[in-house]
């Protein structure tokens, strides 16, 4: 037993012997929990996950003897946890609308019983190593939960239970390790959140993660197991991008971490996801989703912990062989929590008050993404996508600039686009993806061999148009040749008909890869044909006025992904319109030419 010496906001100094850095500590009459972040003789500096109001010097402090860990087992899916994995619905029952302090609740429900199907190939005396599967539990209709031997345990089976109903606490098997120690295996195990879970090796044969968002998938793709960031000023659409990914991505599991953001955004998911069906499985989205919520008004230290809690759970499902996507909104709030703690510790700030270790912490976090061969030999992946909230929308600030160095996919959101309600407000010049070549293989194989060329052409038109607009803004549109004016029209067509995609448009909220490609292809067909017409002397205005031009802009909201054939049929209509103009200007019909 030790005692509290000093209380400075969430940072409490205690006198406590034999405690290790990282260990959890319980302090005071209220029973607040925190973790040791510094040691000096018999004094330990503790960051506390809950508000320290009302705590007094002299009150007791005790070490819990282990670092912050999560409980990994059935009951995670569909649940919502706080930043240190306390189940929020349970807290609601215990302390009402407002979160009480010093409440101990197990992360996984101890009463629920699960149907465990033992792996029938296992028998007494078999050798099990960490990560091996001892059986399964159908966690939700679509998620089969593989019960794993904890990564740090291996040995010989000395006892194993039959299939049947078990609670997470029941022992279902025992293994004897080489040192003779007998380990009880349950439906769940614990793992410290700041230690990445081990795997056999990295695997590089990756495929794109399909999010159903054209500007992401077609222009700046991310891979399963990849790392991406969504920076942008307030209101630019970071949360919407992440929610769209959570909704539509072709991942097996989605972990949504609300880190220092709004309570209502989590409620939005909690209320809407159970009603939405996953386009890939036809089941309710909530069956594959897990939420970690440390909203902006919840204590700042637990915010720092929340993304580690999220990523550890992500790794756990990866280890079962799933493709997991974790979105973190927002990594800036996590970095600010780091800053707050380091500031209270009197550590030397380097830039904008952030500690020197900001960059290394950030990259260590993103390093937990990846597609891996698991300990049991199958493949799984964790894709990490973090929102970044730069103060004043300034991308040169520390968190944005460090993140930019780390992630291969960078979806830069622009205030100008958002102000014009061009959503998703992904800026085509500032954004980038280092995964285009890998994605191109997939697109070429699965959708169309010209994908990479079409994508590159569209980006070229957009950037050419940006240059031309600058000229127009200096000297007016008269300075442009008809061909140049057509470039502007072509870019407008791509922006309105392809890039813009409203999350609240039921028809267009999700676009299949085929729909994505067809829209892009039509925009570019019109663009290419237009150039030919202009050479024949057709005025730009006349082409722009073709009814099919206006219809194309609305096409995305008319046909769903299932109606891709109708989109293709529209292509023929456009060709006919253009052909008529061509004939009018004295050229032979396309067919005759």
Partner 1 sequence: MREKEFRMAAAARGALLYMKGVRGVALGDRVVVRDQSGRRRSGQVIRTSNEVVLVQVFEGTEGLDLDQTWAGFLEKPFELSLSPEILGRVFSGTGAPRDDRPPIISTLKRNVNGAPVNPAARTYPKEFIQTGISTIDGLNSLVRGQKLPIFSGSGLPHNRLAAQIVRQAKLLSQEADFSVVFAAMGVSYTDARFFEEEFESSGVLRNVVMFINLADDPPMERLLLPRAALTAAEYLAYELDQHVLVVLTDMTNYAEALREVATAKGDVPARKGYPGYLYSDLAELYERAGRIHERHGSITMMPVLSMPSDDITHPIPDLTGYITEGQIVLSRELQSQGIYPPVNVPPSLSRLMKDGIGADFTREDHPRVAAQLYAAYARSLEARNLASIIGAEELSERDRRYLEFAEGFEKRFVGQGEDEDRSIIETLEIAWELLSGLPPEALNRVTEEDLQKYHQWGRARDPEETATAGDAGVNGD
Nearest-5° Cα angle at 252, 322 to 153: 25
- Sign of the dihedral through C-alpha 517, 523, 528, 533: positive
Residue 235 interacting with ligand ATP (CB under 6 A): yes
Could you tell which of Mg ion, partner 1, ligand ATP, none binds residue 97, using a CB distance below 5 to 8 A set by kind? partner 1
Q: Which residue among 89, 164, 449, 537 contacts partner 1 (CB under 8 A)?
A: 89
Binding range to ligand ATP, per CB under 6 A, among 220-228, 238-246, 314-322, 573-581: 238-246
Angle between helices 436-446 and 451-475 (to 10 degrees): 120
Element (H or E) spanning 569, and its range?
helix 564-584
Which residue, 221 or 237, has its beta carbon nearer to partner 1?
237
Residues 254-273 that bind partner 1 (CB under 8 A): 258, 260, 262-264, 266-268, 270-271
Binding residues for Mg ion, rule CB under 5 A, total 2
For the bound state, the minimum distance from the C-beta of residue 563 to partner 1, rounded and expressed in Å, comes to 16
List C-alpha distances in Å: 229 to 222, 332, 457, 489, 510. 10, 11, 25, 31, 20
Residue 550 interacting with partner 1 (CB under 8 A): yes
Nearest-5° Cα angle at 237, 468 to 443: 70
Residues 414-443 that bind partner 1 (CB under 8 A): 415, 419-422
Which residue, 85 or 239, has its beta carbon nearer to ligand ATP?
239
Residue 504 interacting with ligand ATP (CB under 6 A): yes
Which residue, 505 or 580, has its beta carbon nearer to ligand ATP?
505
- Integer Cα distance of 49 and 34 in angstroms: 5
Q: Among candidates 256, 328, 309, which has minimal Cα distance to 70?
A: 309
The residue length of the chain stands at 593
For the bound state, the minimum distance from the C-beta of residue 372 to ligand ATP, rounded and expressed in Å, comes to 30
Could you tell which of ligand ATP, partner 1, Mg ion, none binds residue 349, using a CB distance below 5 to 8 A set by kind? partner 1
Residue 92 interacting with partner 1 (CB under 8 A): yes
For the bound state, the minimum distance from the C-beta of residue 483 to ligand ATP, rounded and expressed in Å, comes to 33
Element (H or E) spanning 36, and its range?
strand 32-40
As given in the structure block, the two tokens for residue 45 are 């500096």
Rg of the chain (C-alpha set): 28
Binding residues for partner 1, rule CB under 8 A, total 82
Could you tell which of ligand ATP, Mg ion, partner 1, none binds residue 293, using a CB distance below 5 to 8 A set by kind? partner 1
228 touches 409 (CB < 8 A) = yes
For the bound state, the minimum distance from the C-beta of residue 266 to Mg ion, rounded and expressed in Å, comes to 11
Residue 389 interacting with ligand ATP (CB under 6 A): yes
363 touches 406 (CB < 8 A) = yes
Could you tell which of partner 1, Mg ion, ligand ATP, none binds residue 237, using a CB distance below 5 to 8 A set by kind? ligand ATP
Could you tell which of ligand ATP, partner 1, Mg ion, none binds residue 92, using a CB distance below 5 to 8 A set by kind? partner 1
Q: Which residue among 229, 240, 253, 285 contacts ligand ATP (CB under 6 A)?
A: 240
548 touches 499 (CB < 8 A) = no
Tell me phi and psi for residue 157, to 5 degrees: -70, 125
- Classify each residue of 94-125 as buried b or exposed e, where b means 16 or more C-beta atoms within 10 Å of its C-beta: eeeeebebeeebebbbeeeebebebbeebeee
Residues 218-257 that bind Mg ion (CB under 5 A): 238-239
Residues 295-314 that bind partner 1 (CB under 8 A): 295-300
Could you tell which of ligand ATP, Mg ion, partner 1, none binds residue 17, using a CB distance below 5 to 8 A set by kind? none
- Integer Cα distance of 484 and 478 in angstroms: 11
Please provide the DSSP assignment of 488-548 as one string.
Answer: HHHHHHHIIIII---TT-TTTSS--HHHHHHHHHHHHHHHHHHHHHHHTT--HHHHHT-HH
Q: Which residue among 496, 568, 579, 590 contacts partner 1 (CB under 8 A)?
A: 496
List C-alpha distances in Å: 423 to 253, 419, 496. 26, 9, 10
- Integer Cα distance of 427 and 469 in angstroms: 16
Q: Which residue among 24, 239, 374, 571 contacts ligand ATP (CB under 6 A)?
A: 239
Which residue, 268 or 541, has its beta carbon nearer to Mg ion?
268
Q: Which residue among 195, 502, 544, 573 contacts ligand ATP (CB under 6 A)?
A: 502
- Integer Cα distance of 167 and 171 in angstroms: 9
For the bound state, the minimum distance from the C-beta of residue 518 to ligand ATP, rounded and expressed in Å, comes to 20
Could you tell which of Mg ion, ligand ATP, partner 1, none binds residue 394, using a CB distance below 5 to 8 A set by kind? partner 1
Residues 311-340 that bind ligand ATP (CB under 6 A): none
For the bound state, the minimum distance from the C-beta of residue 556 to Mg ion, rounded and expressed in Å, comes to 25
Tokens 């953001």 found at: 261
Tell me phi and psi for residue 228, to 5 degrees: -140, 160
Residues 215-244 that bind partner 1 (CB under 8 A): 233-235
Residue 547 interacting with partner 1 (CB under 8 A): yes
Binding range to partner 1, per CB under 8 A, among 53-61, 120-128, 203-211, 512-520: 53-61
Residues 397-426 that bind ligand ATP (CB under 6 A): 423-424
State whether residue 71 is helix, strand or coil: strand
Could you tell which of ligand ATP, partner 1, Mg ion, none binds residue 120, using a CB distance below 5 to 8 A set by kind? none
114 touches 172 (CB < 8 A) = no
Binding range to ligand ATP, per CB under 6 A, among 57-65, 173-181, 235-243, 310-318: 235-243
* DSSP, res 391: G
Residue 57 interacting with partner 1 (CB under 8 A): yes
- Integer Cα distance of 36 and 21 in angstroms: 5
Binding mask 450-489 for ligand ATP (x = CB under 6 A): ----------------------------------------
Residue 238 interacting with ligand ATP (CB under 6 A): yes
Residues 197-216 that bind ligand ATP (CB under 6 A): none
Q: Which residue among 2, 7, 306, 462 contacts partner 1 (CB under 8 A)?
A: 7
28 touches 46 (CB < 8 A) = no
The residues that touch Mg ion, with contacts defined as CB under 5 A, are 238-239
The residues that touch ligand ATP, with contacts defined as CB under 6 A, are 232, 234-240, 261, 389, 423-424, 502-504
């Amino acid at each position: 037993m030790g005692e509290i010496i000093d209380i400075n906001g969430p940072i409490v100094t205690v006198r406590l012997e034999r405690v290790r850095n990282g260990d959890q500590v319980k302090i005071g009459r209220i029973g607040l929990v925190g973790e040791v972040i510094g040691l000096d003789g018999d004094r330990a500096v503790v960051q506390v996950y809950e508000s320290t109001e009302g705590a007094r010097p002299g009150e007791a402090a005790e070490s819990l003897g282990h670092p912050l860990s999560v409980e990994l087992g059935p009951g995670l899916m569909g649940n919502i946890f706080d930043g240190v994995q306390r189940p929020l619905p349970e807290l609601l029952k215990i302390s009402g609308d407002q979160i009480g302090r010093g409440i101990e609740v197990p992360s996984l429900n101890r009463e629920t019983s699960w149907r465990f199907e033992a792996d029938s190939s296992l028998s007494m005396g078999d050798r099990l190593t960490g990560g091996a599967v001892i059986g399964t539990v159908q966690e939700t209709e679509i998620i089969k939960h593989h019960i794993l031997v904890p990564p740090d345990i291996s040995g010989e089976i000395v006892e194993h239970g039959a299939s049947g109903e078990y609670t997470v606490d029941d022992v279902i098997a025992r293994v004897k390790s080489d040192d003779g120690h007998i380990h009880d295996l349950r439906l769940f195990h614990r793992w410290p959140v700041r230690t990445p879970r081990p795997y056999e090796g990295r695997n590089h044969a990756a495929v794109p993660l399909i999010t159903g968002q054209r500007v992401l998938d077609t222009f700046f793709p991310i891979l399963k197991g990849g790392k991406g960031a969504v920076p942008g000023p307030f209101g630019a659409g970071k949360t919407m991008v992440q929610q769209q990914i959570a909704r539509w991505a072709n991942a097996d599991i989605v972990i949504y971490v609300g880190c220092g953001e709004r309570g209502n955004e989590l409620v939005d998911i909690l209320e809407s996801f159970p009603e939405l069906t996953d386009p890939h499985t036809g089941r309710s989205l909530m069956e594959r989703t897990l939420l970690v919520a440390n909203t902006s008004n919840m204590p700042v230290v637990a915010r720092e912990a929340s993304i580690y809690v999220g990523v550890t759970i992500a790794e756990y499902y990866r280890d079962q062989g799933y493709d997991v996507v974790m979105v973190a909104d927002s990594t800036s709030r996590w970095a600010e929590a780091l800053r707050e703690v380091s500031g209270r510790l009197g550590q030397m700030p380097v830039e904008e008050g952030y500690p020197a270790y900001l960059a290394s912490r950030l990259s260590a976090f993103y390093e937990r993404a990846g597609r891996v061969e698991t300990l049991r030999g199958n493949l799984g992946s964790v894709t990490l996508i973090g929102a970044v909230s730069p103060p004043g929308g300034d991308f040169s600030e520390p968190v944005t600039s460090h993140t930019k160095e780390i992630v291969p996919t960078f979806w830069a959101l622009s205030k100008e686009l958002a102000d014009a309600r061009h959503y998703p407000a992904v800026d085509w010049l500032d954004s980038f993806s280092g995964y285009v070549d890998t994605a191109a293989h997939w697109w070429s194989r699965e959708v169309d061999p010209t994908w990479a060329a079409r994508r590159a052409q569209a980006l070229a038109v957009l950037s050419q148009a940006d240059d031309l607009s600058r000229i127009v803004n200096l000297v007016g549109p008269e300075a442009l040749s008809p061909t140049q004016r057509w470039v502007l029209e072509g870019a407008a067509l791509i922006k309105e008909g392809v890039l813009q995609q409203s999350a609240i448009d039921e028809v267009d909220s999700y676009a299949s890869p085929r729909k994505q490609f067809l829209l892009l292809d039509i925009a570019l067909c019109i663009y290419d044909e237009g150039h030919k017409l202009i050479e024949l002397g057709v005025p730009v205005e006349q082409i722009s006025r073709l009814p099919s031009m206006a219809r194309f802009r609305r096409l995305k909201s008319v046909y769903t992904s299932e109606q891709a054939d109708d989109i293709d049929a529209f292509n023929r209509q456009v060709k006919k319109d253009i052909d008529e103009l061509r004939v009018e200007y004295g050229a032979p019909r396309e067919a005759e030419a």
